[in-house]
Amino acid sequence: MMPVDLLDLFLRPRRFFAPGRSLGARASLVAALIVYGFGAGITRLEHLAGLRLVLKARGIEPRRSMAFLASVSVDWWKFWGHAALTAILAAALFWTVGTWWFRLRARWSGAPEADMGTSREIYVRSGLVIALPALILALAQTAAFPSFRAAWAQASLWTLVLIVFPFWSSFTSYAGVRARFPVRPGRARVWFLFLPWLLYAIAFAGLGASILHMQVKSNPAKSVFPSGKST
C-alpha cells in the first residue's frame, strides 16, 4: 500500500474501503498479514515481560513458565526472535480462524453472502491499525534503549496512546463491513463496535486489576482494609 492508502486506512476508513476501490495486490495483503502477526507477537510479549517485571519489582516470584522472559527482557535479539515465532502462529490464526469469525459476524449482521476473500481483506487490513503503531514503537524503543527492561522503566505517554488503537481498529472494521457488504447498520454496530469495545474494556480493566492485586498482595500493610478492621 502507498502512504496515501495508509492515511486513508487510519483516518478515513470509509474512503479506504469504498466500493470499487482496489485494496491492493495479494502481496500487499500478505505483507499486512505479516505486520499484523508481528504486532500481535510484540504486544503479547510486551505484556508478559512487563507483567514479569512488575512481579519482580513487588517481590513476587514469577511462575516458572515465565522464566524465558528473563532473557527476553535484557536482550533485544531474543525479544525479536520470540516475537517472530509468535507472529508466525498469529498470522496463521488470523488468516484462518480470524477471517472465519469476521465473515460469521458479517453474516449475522445481515450479509449472508459475505465471502472469505473480502472478509479477509477487511479483517487483515483493519488489523494494521493495531499492529503498525505497536511495531513502530517497538522499533523506536529498540533503537533508543539497550533492552526492553530499560524501555519499560522509561515508559512514556506513547505507550498509553497504544490503548486507543484497538478501539479505532474496531471502527475501521465496522467501516469496511458497511462499505463492502449490505449489512444492517444496527446489527453491524453490535458485532463490530459495541461487543469488541466491551471486550477490550474488560481486558484492559482486568490487566489493571491484576497489577493492583499483585501490588496489594506483595504489601498487605497498604491494603484498603487492614486485617482486624472492617467497614
147-206 pLDDT tens trace: 998 988 887 666 778 889 999 999 999 999 999 999 999 999 999 999 999 999 998 887
CA distance 32 to 159: 22
User: Does the residue 208 lie in any domain?
Assistant: yes
Q: How many structural domains compose the chain? A: 1
Task: Dig out the grid coordinates for 63 from the structure.
Answer: 511462575
- Residue 9's pLDDT is 95
How distant, in Å, are the alpha carbons of 152, 156, 180 from that of 196?
A: 27, 26, 20
User: Does the residue 193 lie in any domain?
Assistant: yes
Residue 20 belongs to what domain range? 3-218
What b/e string do you get for 12-30 counting C-beta neighbours within 10 Å, with b at 16 or more? ebeebbeeeeebeeeebbe
- Residue 50's pLDDT is 79
User: Does the residue 187 lie in any domain?
Assistant: yes
Mean pLDDT across the stretch 104-120? 96
User: Does the residue 230 lie in any domain?
Assistant: no
Query: What Rg, from alpha-carbon coordinates, does the chain have?
Result: 20
Full-model pTM: 0.85
User: Does the residue 169 lie in any domain?
Assistant: yes
List phi, psi (to 5°) of 63: -65, 160
User: Does the residue 225 lie in any domain?
Assistant: no
Confidence band, pLDDT 50/70/90 cuts, at residue 55: confident
Q: At what angle do helices 164-180 and 116-144 cross, to 10 degrees?
A: 160
Q: CB under 8 Å to 149, separation ≥6 — which residues?
A: 49, 53, 73, 74
User: Does the residue 229 lie in any domain?
Assistant: no
CA distance 161 to 69: 24
Q: CB under 8 Å to 113, separation ≥6 — which residues?
A: 181
User: Does the residue 200 lie in any domain?
Assistant: yes
DSSP string for residues in 116-165? HHHHHHHHHHHHHHHHHHHHHHHHHHHHH-SSHHHHHHT--HHHHHTTHH
Mean pLDDT across the stretch 67-78? 88
